[in-house]
């Protein structure tokens, strides 16, 4: 078993030369193709470096414009030269100057010996697999691609549009089933010979000359025609990012590459001194990894893709600033807003923390300061409770609170006496649960002990503010889950309501109501509400207590007794 290499070199000749030397030194022949677009001066160091190495040969140079036929033609000729010059070679491995051998040639040969007559070439049927990157898929084969995508993008796109409009469809040559896959393969001498000497080769070549990126489809399609045993996978590790360009490997990827299970990797950052030093040093040879973990490679790069395309929900920062109606995930996790609950249950905040398992803040948007859970002046992330700082950008304030302690489900209290600007934000946030008991402020007013006469103006203002808040919640663009009860509705069945709240926000083990918070003193409320009405200030948001206020109060007392007991 003897493997030979075809190496396509487009730039950074120093590294290419180093790798070619490394391979040849292990007894493997290397045919190098130098992109014709590189100047003689540019490639001189490479030639110098490789002079006297008998097993290194240069093939005829072609210009290798990205995505063009030149690259495939260069590969054909270099491969033919390799087969001709080195009769002992029975496997041909296609690499580039930016590829890095991860394991010794002997190990590769042992592996190939274990897989007799097998071609390793990633090759997926375009009819079945939507190879998404680049947007063009089966159109690569349907249309003509006579101009460079990199240099003449406008003309390229225009040509595609025109052919789409004309409904053009090139005829596929008989016996050709379009397949696509990684450019980097390892073929047997037999398969490669049959591809290169196929009686219909001229027809195939003519077809592929105008296909887009033939280097990802020419051998991939023709191997399907000639291979005896084909494993559709590449022995060269390549990972593509969300734009379809290859990820680059650096010094800190050493372990990832070593344990990847692949024989080569591409692309390598030319400045990755440590990688080149470690993988290309013959002694001591790298020990076989204890355990190959190709899955880790996928995880690392899939995570990068997700980071770039989806980001971390609820994060607003210098390089990610989602805004407008497109922003579906405004916050890192679910949170609850309670309006009126602390009027009905004076110790509601404690209850939310204890019974509902919430990271329970007080009134985050209270007029004078932010009431953080725990009562501190400075919250996680060094967020200040200063009202001016908060009100300068309430949205940033809230998203900071939620982001800084995102491992916990937050809740906070809200009411008509608080700063209202933030309502816009949480109303449009699908992660928010907003629970409102309307008119509950009347309880706290009543508890001040002042007369309805004295409180009339304040009551009217609170009611107006709350009405605007409700309008906001009823707006069509609301995404939050909204639960609204009038005070009368809530007090009619307080236990059921609290049970409902738990079912919406608490973790499964806390979903059964086991503890009832103490109810506020409601004994004077009916008279207080009547007094307000008598003065012409109808507290309509409290709901209709006309019948059975006395009943409510008795019921409330019963619950309080139960809660205390």
Partner 1 sequence: MRKSSELEAVHIRTSRIRDEDILCCATLRNELDRLPYFLKYYRELGIGHFLIVDNGSDDGSTEYLAQQADVSLWSTGASYKAARFGMDWMNRLLSRYGHNHWTLTVDPDEFFVYPFCDSRDLRALTHWLDASSIRSFSAMLLDLYPRAAVGETRYVPGQDPVAATGWFDAGNYTIKRNELYGNLWIQGGVRARTLFTEDPYRAPALNKIPLVKWHRRNVYVSSTHSLLPRGLNRVYDEWGGEKASGVLLHTKFLDVFETKAREEIDRQQHYADGFEYRAYADRLRQRPSFWCDMSERYSGWQQLDSLGLMSRGNWA
Which residues here bind partner 1, judged by CB under 8 A?
Answer: 241-243, 245, 247-248, 250-252, 269, 271-272, 300-301, 303-305, 307-313, 315-324, 326-329, 376, 378-384, 386, 388-389, 392-393, 396-397, 400, 403-404
In the complex, minimum distance from the CB of residue 40 to partner 1, in angstroms, rounded to a whole number: 19
In the complex, minimum distance from the CB of residue 462 to partner 1, in angstroms, rounded to a whole number: 28
DSSP state of 383: E
Residue with Cβ nearer partner 1 (241 or 417):
241
Residue with Cβ nearer partner 1 (308 or 474):
308
In the complex, minimum distance from the CB of residue 529 to partner 1, in angstroms, rounded to a whole number: 41
Residue with Cβ nearer partner 1 (52 or 324):
324
In the complex, minimum distance from the CB of residue 335 to partner 1, in angstroms, rounded to a whole number: 16
CB atoms closer than 10 angstroms to residue 165: 8
In the complex, minimum distance from the CB of residue 306 to partner 1, in angstroms, rounded to a whole number: 9
In the complex, minimum distance from the CB of residue 231 to partner 1, in angstroms, rounded to a whole number: 27
Q: Are 385 and 370 in contact (CB under 8 A)?
A: yes
Region of 244 please: left (phi>0), alpha (psi -120 to 50) or beta: left
In the complex, minimum distance from the CB of residue 405 to partner 1, in angstroms, rounded to a whole number: 9
CA 162, CA 139: separation in Å to the nearest integer? 12
The CA dihedral of 420, 421, 426, 428, to the nearest 10 degrees, is 120
What's the alpha-carbon Rg for the chain, to the nearest Å? 36
Residue with Cβ nearer partner 1 (111 or 301):
301
DSSP state of 290: S
In the complex, minimum distance from the CB of residue 325 to partner 1, in angstroms, rounded to a whole number: 12
Residue with Cβ nearer partner 1 (272 or 364):
272
Residue with Cβ nearer partner 1 (16 or 520):
16
In the complex, minimum distance from the CB of residue 537 to partner 1, in angstroms, rounded to a whole number: 37
CA dihedral sign of residues 300, 246, 205, 168: positive
CB atoms closer than 10 angstroms to residue 527: 12
The three-class DSSP label of residue 136 is coil
Residue with Cβ nearer partner 1 (51 or 319):
319
Concatenate the DSSP letters of all residues of 154-192 into one string. HHHHHHHHHHHHHT--PPPPTT---EE--S--EEEHHHH
Q: What are the b/e assignments for 226-241, b being 16+ CB within 10 Å?
A: bbeebebebbbbbbee
In the complex, minimum distance from the CB of residue 431 to partner 1, in angstroms, rounded to a whole number: 14
Residue with Cβ nearer partner 1 (125 or 384):
384
Residue with Cβ nearer partner 1 (275 or 522):
275
In the complex, minimum distance from the CB of residue 478 to partner 1, in angstroms, rounded to a whole number: 20
Candidates 477, 506, 320; CA nearest to 403 is 320
Residue with Cβ nearer partner 1 (252 or 350):
252
In the complex, minimum distance from the CB of residue 493 to partner 1, in angstroms, rounded to a whole number: 40
Burial class (CB in 10 A: 0-12, 13-18, 19+), 382: exposed
Residue with Cβ nearer partner 1 (91 or 361):
361
CA 232, CA 218: separation in Å to the nearest integer? 15
CA dihedral sign of residues 533, 539, 542, 544: positive
Residue with Cβ nearer partner 1 (157 or 496):
157
CB neighbours of 191 closer than 8 A, spacing ≥ 6?
119, 223, 226, 227, 228
Q: Are 156 and 145 in contact (CB under 8 A)?
A: yes
The three-class DSSP label of residue 150 is coil
- The partner residues of 433 in beta bridges, in order of sequence, read 336, 481
Q: Are 65 and 150 in contact (CB under 8 A)?
A: yes
CA 68, CA 211: separation in Å to the nearest integer? 8
DSSP state of 52: T
Burial class (CB in 10 A: 0-12, 13-18, 19+), 174: exposed
Residue with Cβ nearer partner 1 (67 or 104):
67
Q: What are the b/e assignments for 177-215, b being 16+ CB within 10 Å?
A: ebbbbbbbbbbbbebbbbbeebeeeeebbebbbebbbbb
In the complex, minimum distance from the CB of residue 79 to partner 1, in angstroms, rounded to a whole number: 28
């Amino acid at each position: 078993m003897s493997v030979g290499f075809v190496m396509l070199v487009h730039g950074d000749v120093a590294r290419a030369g180093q790798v070619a030397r490394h391979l040849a030194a292990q007894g493997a022949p290397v045919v190098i193709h130098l992109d014709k677009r590189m100047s003689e001066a540019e490639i001189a160091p490479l030639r110098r470096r490789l002079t006297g190495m008998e097993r290194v040969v240069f093939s005829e140079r072609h210009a290798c414009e990205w995505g063009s036929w030149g690259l495939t033609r260069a590969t054909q000729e270099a491969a033919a030269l390799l087969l001709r010059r080195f009769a002992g070679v029975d496997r041909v491995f296609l690499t580039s100057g930016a590829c890095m051998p991860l394991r010794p040639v002997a190990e590769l040969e042992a592996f190939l010996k274990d897989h007799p007559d097998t071609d390793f070439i990633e090759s997926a049927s375009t009819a079945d697999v939507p190879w998404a990157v680049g947007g063009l898929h089966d159109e690569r084969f349907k249309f003509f691609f006579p101009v460079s995508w990199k240099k003449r993008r406008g003309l390229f796109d225009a040509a595609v549009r025109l052919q789409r409009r004309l409904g053009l469809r090139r005829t596929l040559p008989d016996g050709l089933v379009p397949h696509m896959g990684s450019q980097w393969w390892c073929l047997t001498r037999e398969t490669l010979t049959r591809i290169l000497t196929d009686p219909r080769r001229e027809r195939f070549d003519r077809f592929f000359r105008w296909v887009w990126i033939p280097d990802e489809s020419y051998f991939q399609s023709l191997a399907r025609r000639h291979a005896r045993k084909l494993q559709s996978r590449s022995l060269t590790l390549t990972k593509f990012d969300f734009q379809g360009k290859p990820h680059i490997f650096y010094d800190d990827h050493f372990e990832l590459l070593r344990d990847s299970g692949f024989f080569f990797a591409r692309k390598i950052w030319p400045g990755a001194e440590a990688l080149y030093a470690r993988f290309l040093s013959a002694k001591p040879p790298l020990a076989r990894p204890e355990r190959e973990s190709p899955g880790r490679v996928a995880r690392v790069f899939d995570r990068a893709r997700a980071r770039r395309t989806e980001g971390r929900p609820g994060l607003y920062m210098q390089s990610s600033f989602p805004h407008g109606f497109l922003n579906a995930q405004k916050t890192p996790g679910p949170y609850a807003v309670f309006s009126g609950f602390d009027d009905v249950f004076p110790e509601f905040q404690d209850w939310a923390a204890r019974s509902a398992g919430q990271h329970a803040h007080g009134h985050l948007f209270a007029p004078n300061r932010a009431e953080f859970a725990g009562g501190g002046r400075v919250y996680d992330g060094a967020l200040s409770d200063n009202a001016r700082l908060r009100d300068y950008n309430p949205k940033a304030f809230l998203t900071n609170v939620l982001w800084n302690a995102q491992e916990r489900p937050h809740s906070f209290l809200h009411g008509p006496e608080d700063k209202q600007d933030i309502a816009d934000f949480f109303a449009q946030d699908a992660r928010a649960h907003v629970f409102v008991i309307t008119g509950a402020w009347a309880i706290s007013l009543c508890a001040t002990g002042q007369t309805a006469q004295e409180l009339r103006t304040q009551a009217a203002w609170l009611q107006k503010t709350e009405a605007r808040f409700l309008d906001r919640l009823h707006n069509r663009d609301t995404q939050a889950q909204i639960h609204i009860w009038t005070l009368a509705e809530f007090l009619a069945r307080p236990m059921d309501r609290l049970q409902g709240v738990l079912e919406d926000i608490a973790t499964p083990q806390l979903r059964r109501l086991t503890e009832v918070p103490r109810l506020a003193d409601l004994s004077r409320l009916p008279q207080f509400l009547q007094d307000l009405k008598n003065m012409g200030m109808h507290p309509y948001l409290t709901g209709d207590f006309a019948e059975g206020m006395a009943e409510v109060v008795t019921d409330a007392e019963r619950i309080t007794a139960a809660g205390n007991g």
